[in-house]
Amino acid sequence: MTLGSKTITCDNDNAVKPFGTLDTPTQGGTASGSSFVNWGWVLTPQPNSIATDGSTIEVWVNGVNLGHPTYNIYRADIANLFPGYANSNGAVGYFYLDTTAYGNGVHIIHWTAKDNAGNTDGIGSRYFTIQNTGANRQRSNDRVGREQACLFRDPLSRISADYSEPVEIIRGYKKDNIPQTIYPDENGNLDIQIEELGRVEINLGRPGWIGFQVIGDQLRALPIGSTMNSKEGVFCWQPGAGFIGNYQLIFIEKKRNRLKKINITIIPKH
- pLDDT tens-digit series, residues 166-185: 999 999 988 788 999 999 99
pLDDT at 147 over 50: no
Q: Which pTM does this prediction carry? A: 0.85
Q: For residue 47, is the peptide bond before it cis, meaning its omega torsion is within 30 degrees of 0?
A: yes
- Interior/surface letters 242-256, b for 16+ CB within 10 angstroms, e for the rest: ebeeebebbbbbeee
* Angstrom distance (rounded) from CA 106 to CA 244: 18
Give the neighbor-by-neighbor strand order of the sheet with 64-67: 30-31, 120-130, 105-114, 57-61, 64-67
Q: Does 135 have pLDDT greater than 50?
A: yes
- Examine the pLDDT at 23 and tell me if it is beyond 70: yes
DSSP H or E stretch at residue 120: strand 120-130
Whether 244 has a pLDDT exceeding 70, the answer reads yes
The span from the CA of 92 to the CA of 71, in Å, is 6
Per the CB < 8 A criterion, the answer to whether 220 and 212 are in contact is: yes
pLDDT of residue 239: 92
What is the pLDDT, as a whole number, of residue 145? 47
* The pLDDT of residue 229: 94
More confident residue, 160 or 81: 81
Percent of the chain surpassing pLDDT 90: 75
Read off the pLDDT band of 191 (50, 70, 90).
very high
The whole-number average pLDDT for the span 45-54 is 96
Give the mean model confidence (pLDDT) for residues 92-108. Answer: 95
User: What are the chain's domains?
Assistant: 12-135 (2.60.40.650), 141-267 (2.60.40.10)
